[in-house]
Every structure is written in C-alpha cells, then in structure tokens.
Amino acid sequence: MDDDRPDVLLTGLLFYDLVLTGLGGPPTPGEEIWTRGMGCGPGGIANLAVAAARFGLRTSLATVFGDDFYGEHCRDVLRDQEGVDLSLSRTADGWPTPVTVSVAYGHDRALLTHGHEPPYTQDALMGDPPDARTALVHLEAQPREWLAKAAANGTRIYGDVGWDPTQEWSRALLDQLALCHAFLPNETEAMAYTRTDSAMAALGTLSELVPVAVVTRGGDGALAVDQITGEYAEVPALDTEVLDATGAGDVFGASFVAASLGGWPLAERLRFAALAAGLSVRHHGGALAAPGWYGVARWWRSQTDPEVRAAYGFLSDRMPADPGPPVHHAPVTPPAPRTPVSPRVCEGPH
C-alpha cells in the first residue's frame, strides 16, 4: 500500500491489569476465595493498541506511563513485544501507573482500580495529531480538541463510549458523532443514549447520526448498518467458553477497523470482529488476549463443521499467507523489574 500514515491512532488511559479467573461467583465480605487462574499485562487503551497491532496495522499510541515498575513493564510489552509506536507517549515523573484488579466469573467481571488523574491530557499528548487512516476514540462528555483536528485531516474516526456512572446518558454526547465515520456502542449504552428500548431501535436512531452504526450485544452477537453502502448485517457471537471477558469489546472494535481498512462487506466485517472478540475471551486479560492473525488462522484450520466453514468461508480469501508467529498471552507473573527506572519521554521528544 502506498500509504505510510499510521493505520490506527489511539489515545487514552493505560492500566496495569491483574486478572483473576475461575471463580464460582463474586466474593463476599469476610470471604477468601482461591482462584484457578491468573494473568497480568497492560490494559485500558492498550487493549485496542495490541488488538490492532496483532492484525498488522501500524498503530500509534499516545498515553502516559508512570515511572514505576508497572509503567516500565507495560511500555516494554507495547513497544518491544507488540511493535506499537509510542512516539506520542510520555513517562511521568512521580506519577503511579493505574492498576486494575479484574475478578472474572461466568460471563462477567468486577473491576477494582487504583489510579490518579494523569498529568498530561489527551489534547496535550496529541497536540496537532499526525495524519492517520483511522482513529479509535472513546467519546466522553467533554469533547477533545484533537478529535476535530484529526477529522479535519481526513482521519476516519471510529468512536465508542463507556458506562456513564451518573446514568444521565446525556444526548449531547451524540453531537460528537458528526465527527465520526463509525460508532460502536454496546446495546445497553446504545439504548440509554438514544432513549430506545431495543438494540434494533437504537441502531435505527444511530444510523441517522453516523455513516456506520454498530451495536454489540455480547453473547447475542452484533448488528450494524452502513449508510454508505446501504448494507445491513446481523451476526451471532462465537459459541465458546468464556474465561475472561475483559477487553472483548476493544478487540471487537479494533478487528472491525482492520476489516474496514480492507474494504470488506459489512457482514464480513461484523462476523470477523465477533470472531476475534470470541477468541479473546478464552484467555486472561484484555490486551494480551487479542488473537491477531495467528489466533484467527489457528482457529480456522481447526474447524471441520460444514456450517462453520460456510459461515466463515470468507477467511480463506482474507487471511495473509503468513499469519505471523504465535502471540504472547498474559503471563501469571511479570518479569522482574529493571533498576533504576529513570523518567523519560518514550521514543524521543514530543
């Protein structure tokens, strides 16, 4: 491709994730539970970065690392192991990297997080954002200045949202969809922001606000409308055992972008994203659970069911000849820290 721009531009808060799995139910006060599984690794915005990079996308990440062990470990994983460009990122002197403990049970999980407001805003990290083919953006109530600049540069914005702790679900947030090419909320968020009572009704409202509207439904799959091509698609989720659902939505989003950059039909984009998200929940954690081309290829080669082969037959023409080496999944314990850790700007000056 004669396009050396980043394929995906990302910014957001990074976390060090410690994931505990294998619980029969949530813990209760005064109770000690021994879990059957554990993994650790980068999380938060890293979920999107790793998922995109593992599909061979040139991924540029603007985030803040603490000058502690957790920040060093996450930086090393993203830059050295996963090949994510960190030239827009910074290491903050004296600021602790946020840490999240994810307790996963059944198809859900609870999160316990310790962290502080980062010393650099998204707008400070981005400045005048570089030209990029796409940006994956977590929309917030307060619009970010860099987002309008990126859209003006011709960057296609793929947006999502998170849970609103105030539960006000202000429709003003949807005004930012005017800058977006696509919007990918889950059905709870979609119905809350559109004041509708079904995923289908929410999709109908969102399709009037953004060219490509997607509503994810967890174990019930996803549905989408592409107003540019006139396509509608609805696909089921992958039938699989869930170990840890952390970051599955991020894997879905990054995979949908990867397929969209390939110019695939909507049904293929949606099915591919649902497949990648389904494969991710088989492993611990968010970022390092992303399957990449290696995981997709391995799954495809193992399929013998004629119906599955027919449903995902498009993969034969879409997968690269070389899906790459095996991906690294979340280790039980991280490597020992190097000392001393000196505060610095990642990958050169900003």
- 220: pLDDT strictly greater than 80: yes
How many CA within 13 A on the CB side of residue 292? 21
pLDDT tens-place string over residues 103-157? 877 667 788 999 999 999 999 999 999 999 999 999 998 899 999 999 999 999 9
Q: What is the pLDDT of residue 350?
A: 38
Mean pLDDT across 7-24 = 91
| Inter-axis angle of helices 45-53 and 248-261, nearest 10 | 40
C-alpha distance across the termini of the chain, in Å: 28
Q: What is the pLDDT of residue 349?
A: 40
Q: How far is residue 87's CA from residue 37's CA, in Å, rounded to a whole number?
A: 35
Closest-CA residue to 256 (of 277, 237, 275, 270): 270
pLDDT tens-place string over residues 221-235? 999 999 999 999 999
- 266: pLDDT strictly greater than 70: yes
List of domains in the chain: 13-318 (3.40.1190.20)
Q: How far is residue 144's CA from residue 293's CA, in Å, rounded to a whole number?
A: 32
- 342: pLDDT strictly greater than 70: no
Cis peptide before 340 (omega within 30 of 0): yes
Asked if residue 111 lies in contact with residue 85, where contact means CB atoms within 8 angstroms, the answer is no
Dihedrals phi, psi of 245, to nearest 5 degrees: -85, 0
Longest Cα–Cα distance of the chain, Å, equals 60
Q: What is the pLDDT of residue 29?
A: 87
- 243: pLDDT strictly greater than 90: no
pLDDT band at 25 (very low <50, low <70, confident <90, very high): confident
Write down the mean pLDDT value for the chain: 91
| Inter-axis angle of helices 292-301 and 266-280, nearest 10 | 90
pLDDT tens-place string over residues 275-324? 999 999 898 777 899 999 999 999 999 999 999 999 999 999 999 999 99
Asked if residue 268 lies in contact with residue 296, where contact means CB atoms within 8 angstroms, the answer is no
